[in-house]
Amino acid sequence: MSNKSNNFRTPIGTRDLLPPDSARWQALLDAFAAKAAMAGFGLISTPTFEDVGVFSRVGEGTDVVRKEMYEFADKSDRRMALRPEGTAPVCRAFVQHRPPVPWKVWYHGPYFRYEAPQAGRYRQFHQIGAEVLGSADPDVDVEVISLAWSVLRAVGLERVLLLVNSMGDAETRVEYGRAVRDHLQANLADIDEDDRDKVDHHPLRVLDSKRPGTRAVTAEGPRLADYLSPEAVRHFERVQDGLGALGIPFAIEPRLVRGLDYYTHTTFEFTSSALDAAQNTVCGGGRYDGLVEELGGPPTPGIGFGMGIERLLLACDAEEQFPTPTTDPAVWVVDVADGRSARDLTHELRQAGVAADRSFDGRSMRSQMRNADRSGAQLALIVGEQELQQGQVAVRRLRNDESGQLMIARSEVVSEVRRLLEADS
Ligand code: HAM
CA-CA distance, 203 to 181, in Å (whole number)?
Answer: 5
Nearest Cα to Cα of residue 281 among 130, 120, 167, 65? 120
Predicted pLDDT at 2: 52
Rounded distance from Cα 163 to ligand 1 centre (Å): 15
Helix (H, G, I), strand (E, B) or coil at 331: strand
What is the DSSP code (8-state) at residue 41?
P
The amino acid that residue 254 corresponds to is P
Q: If you average pLDDT over residues 238-246, what whole number do you get?
A: 98
CA-CA distance, 138 to 124, in Å (whole number)?
Answer: 33
What is the DSSP code (8-state) at residue 350?
H
Q: What is the pLDDT of residues 360-401, one digit of tens each?
A: 999 999 999 999 999 999 999 999 999 999 999 999 999 876
Helix (H, G, I), strand (E, B) or coil at 417: helix
The amino acid that residue 220 corresponds to is E
Question: Which residue's CA is the nearest one to ligand 1's atom 16?
Answer: 121
Q: What number of H helices and E strands is found in the chain?
A: 15, 16
342 within 8 A of 333, measured Cβ to Cβ: yes
Sorting pLDDT into bands at 50, 70 and 90, what band is 3? low
Q: What is the pLDDT of residues 42-100, one digit of tens each?
A: 999 999 999 999 998 777 767 888 889 999 999 999 999 999 999 999 999 999 999 99
The amino acid that residue 356 corresponds to is A
Rounded distance from Cα 90 to ligand 1 centre (Å): 15
What is the DSSP code (8-state) at residue 382?
E
What percent of the chain is predicted at pLDDT more than 90?
A: 83
CA-CA distance, 422 to 401, in Å (whole number)?
Answer: 18
CA-CA distance, 355 to 413, in Å (whole number)?
Answer: 14
Helix (H, G, I), strand (E, B) or coil at 349: helix
Predicted pLDDT at 424: 82
Question: Which residue's CA is the nearest one to ligand 1's atom 11?
Answer: 308
Rounded distance from Cα 83 to ligand 1 centre (Å): 12
Question: How long, in residues, is the chain?
Answer: 425
In this structure, how many other beta carbons lie within 10 angstroms of the beta carbon of residue 170?
14
Furthest C-alpha separation in the chain: 94
| Edge-to-edge strand ranges of the sheet holding 392-397 | 356-358, 331-335, 379-383, 392-397, 405-409
Pocket of ligand 1 (CB under 6 A): 85-87, 113, 115, 120-122, 125, 127, 129, 131, 259-260, 281-286, 288, 304-308, 310-311
Rounded distance from Cα 85 to ligand 1 centre (Å): 7
Predicted pLDDT at 4: 63
How distant is the alpha carbon of residue 408 from its chain centre? 46
CA-CA distance, 121 to 56, in Å (whole number)?
Answer: 22
